[in-house]
Structure 1
Amino acid sequence: MTASSKTQPRWLQFLTYPSLSRQLMLVGLVITAFFIIIAIFTPVFQAWGWLQDPNASLINPIHEPPSGQHWFGTSREGYDVFSRTLFGSRAALQVVVLATSLSLIVGVPLGLISGYWGGKMDRALLFLMDTIYTLPGLLLSVTLAFVVGRGVGNAAIALSISYIPQYYRVVRNHTTSVKTELFIEAARAMGATPTRVLSRYLFLNVIQSVPVLFTLNAADAILILGGLGFLGLGLPLDTPEWGHDLKLALDSLPTGIWWTALFPGLAMTFMVTGLSLMGEGLSEVFNPEMER
């Protein structure tokens, strides 16, 4: 690495320096971007007549294998699997982005405040977050889904609760170590208010690990959302969703109707893989010593 590259930002060094992690991150970025584009433009494709209504059953419901007319075949209910798979990416993206954003919005401020002030509030929050963290994510989401009911917003809330402790713990631990640094003490000595110290100095120094958590939690949220859909929870039953479609396809597999399960399963697998590769790449961007 040249002397000039040492002055480059860490993220720019990562992108310009050839490594397997960089290549895998770019692959993950391409996969994720593909699904985002599909999720955004799927209603447009339907309006242009390129996609069938995902909830419209054929006049004569017959499970047809993949063909030129139905690229991914049709289900036993007469649904077009290609259309439902594409619309399933839209449902997954909506819930996952909302869930991870809610957990970030709640967990990061709580971690900052708890780590900065400490005391009884810190111990109480730490006990609460550790209690939530010990519960399996799927079990907690299933329980909350029973309570809040179906819907995009309700499913996002059910998913976000299990991710709040992760943001809280990471931000709190960084805050407790950074708040004793000399530049924080200098800011206090110059009359900076606690709010200013938190927002201007501490926040920018402890936020670096949050993008890594965001992408990894998004990948995990897709799997949990699929589990909720498979159990008949989460989204309304008439919403195209990968987990629910896999449940409907379960009865079709013994009769040789393999395509109704294959394509939603592959879509879920690729989207989770793309987000996971992005998370691993971002982890190296913010922690370059991990590669060594």
Structure 2
Amino acid sequence: MRRFFLLLLLFSLNISIAANTIVAVVNEDVITLDSIEWQLSFANSYDEKIDIVSRQIDLLLQLNAVNELSIEPENNEINGALTQLAQNNNYSISKLKSHPQFILLVEQIIETLSVIKLEQFITKDFKPELSENEILQKCRNEKPTRIKQIKIAQIIVSEILDSSSSKSEQKNAVVGFLEKLSKHISKGASFEAIAKLHSQHPSYYNGGLSEWLFVNTPNIEIIDSLQDGKVSKIYETGGGWAIAIKVDERNIDPDIETCKEQIKSQKSQKYYLEWLKELRESAYIEIYTDKL
């Protein structure tokens, strides 16, 4: 059936594609010589050409997976990447858009973001484990330092009134609302339950719980000084206004923690590459080596 489909595909290609040399077939898609001509221009050997085709096959499989999973990059993500690219090259956005290769740049950004999002999606539930022996062998630190970190839970509210309200009206309404919530919590109500009901920050789903935070900002320093179960005063954040409680604390060696994160990242990448290998093994792939 695959062979029949391949023949049907080759005969049904339109003239513009048929005029180009097909170097590989990947499921229902084709890779043409023209599409990888630029990469091939840097190849110094036949093996390097095969490697380029192989990478293009992997890219095509990943982009198709992104499409099937409906996790394509959002416009704000693409625009953010373009803004960062412009800043890195001391360009204005308008100057970047006038670049003769702008469309190609956008395509490359979309491809890169797509692969990143796919890897994040595939590895989101992968929790790499580190043994004590592994940490001792790979993360040895002759001069350890200890730095304090804390976990906090926050209820963050950005707006209560409609968008026609002034900033001061909005602030007063939010502050008044948070004061009421704070009183309920002080009387014994569950911070976690109230956060899940009223927090407007994405962390609401787990009761407003944060990751481990360094005690290096005025707000975090104040929260660190709170007694167990004590609710903070209302403070302003980037996402609105908030109240918080201190949940936990620890002292860590930042160098060792960085090392541990690097090991976890390597394991996650290995997990993803194994997934990609299985994806490739399950695909129909034919490479026309004589066309290279």
- Per the normalisation by structure 1, the TM-score is 0.26
Structure whose residues are more often helix by fraction: 1
Q: Higher strand proportion, which one?
A: 2
Tell me the TM-score normalised to structure 2 length.
0.26
Larger radius of gyration: 2
